[in-house]
A and B are shown apart, each in its own frame.
Chain A
Amino acid sequence: MDYTKQIQDIAGRLFSENKIDVFIGYRNTGFDENQVPVLINQYKDVDQLLFTDKSVFNLANYLKYEHTRNKRVGLVVKGCDSRALNLMLTEKQVKRENLYVVGIACKGVVDETGEMAQNCIECVMPDAVIFDEMLGTPSGRREYQENADVRELDGKTLTERQEYFEEVFESCIRCNACRHSCPLCYCAKCCIDQETATLFQGANTTSSAFHALMTWSLHLAGRCVDCRNCEKACPSHLPLHLLHKQNEKVIYGNFQEHLAGMIEEDRGAFYKYSLSDPDDFIM
């Protein structure tokens, strides 16, 4: 999967036609095989851009910063990124007319070890769902699969799960990197930022980590697009996807197979209801 040439051409064209102010793409770090997201402001920097299977970070995240606010932005989106973008558009965080979206028919990106990342194996929609221009041949929507890790944990007893998650929350150092790297956590003041809310604990204790991560994942329930930006950002390498995938599983299974950001103007699963939703857990 290498769309470097096409993306450089597109970005160059957009700049020369003066259609955009910023183009968000990827470039090489220059010192290792990883890539850095880059915000390009002028035509002459276009040749830095590239796109390979190491272009991992979800670029929709940059739409929430001051660098792109009220500017005409061009950006590259993979399948999951485009779903996040879709939600951001639905939730009126960005204006469609300010965006030029280069969609990618994604074949999956790699993780740290160089293998295809787990979320790409389980990906439901590898092609961009929203785009002005599409690169590659779309492979279409795939069958929903339950996350392997969630299934494995589900098979364990409550005590085992409890012990496992106690370790997870204990390892959390409350840096809030997960929230900052999530494109859908665009709130200027987040309820899990310790400084803004007296409701939350200020100290970085296990208790506050439990509190914050649980609340955070429930705020993203029905909205998470499984781009795993949070997990990549986590310095403690916590399996944050477990919480999101668990929620996704419950939502997919119970609420008419809802998946976040697949269709335009579709808000999260919690913004609608059906009379036939499960009721048997309520006395």
Chain B
Amino acid sequence: MNSMQNSLKVEIGGYHTGNIPPLLHEIRHALRNLLDNGETTTIDLRSLPMAPGEQQQLLDILGKGEISVHLDALGKSEITESIYAGVWLIIHYNNNGEVMGKFIEITRVPAILKAQTADMEESLAALQMRLEEI
């Protein structure tokens, strides 16, 4: 795989759809909205056309912040706060490690990180059972 990539000379510079600046603006507005009204925003990166290399450019701009979380439910998920507090990058993988979805979420804590009521109820029951066993 690597040897093939090395033998092919592919120029990828110079492409741009021009989608990055408006996307960053959208993120900025969303952050403002979060601060003012407490509303969260999710952006689906798959719905935007990107030129080769452009998405990486975006991720580079967002960078890696203080928090990085790994989730394991129906495959892995990576949840990373960008260098901008409140701006999160969420990547869902399937069991084969293939990307299933890429989102930018502007929120205090991504919803998926919070313990879910149904799960907690189930856990409560399980804990109860465990206690009874003891």
Do A and B associate with each other? no
